[in-house]
Amino acid sequence: MVKLATITFINDNRIDLYKDTYIHAVKNISNIDRFNSQIVFSNTLNNHISSISDLDTSDFEKVILGIFAECDFFKISDIQDLYFKCSSIHSINFLK
């Protein structure tokens, strides 16, 4: 497993992200009459990068930042059925 980054939350808990980490991210699209969410990302980082011809493996940082900038909640494959609020992310440390 190739570690790409570590997410640190405001309570100092941490989650490591690897190339094969499955991320499921959603954003709120609710209005006054209806509550709903939309999936903005549901894939592994490696599969996503491989499927886009103009990205290469050096673009993991852009993809990770883009996912968490766009979503409201996310879950990680290793932590089933537990969603994290994106606003609770304090920092993302990328490994070089």
pLDDT digits (tens, 9 = 90+) for 39-93: 999 998 887 766 655 555 567 888 899 899 999 999 998 777 899 999 999 999 9
- Note the pTM of the prediction, 2 decimals: 0.84
Band of the pLDDT at 24, cuts 50, 70, 90?
very high
Burial (CB count within 10 angstroms: exposed 0-12, middle 13-18, buried 19+), residue 54: exposed
Domain that holds residue 86: 3-94
The CA distance from 43 to 12, in Å, is: 26
Number of domains observed in the structure of the chain: 1
Q: Which residue has the higher pLDDT, 59 or 23?
A: 23
Give the pLDDT confidence score for residue 57 in this predicted structure: 52
Do the beta carbons of residue 8 and residue 90 sit within 8 Å? Answer: yes
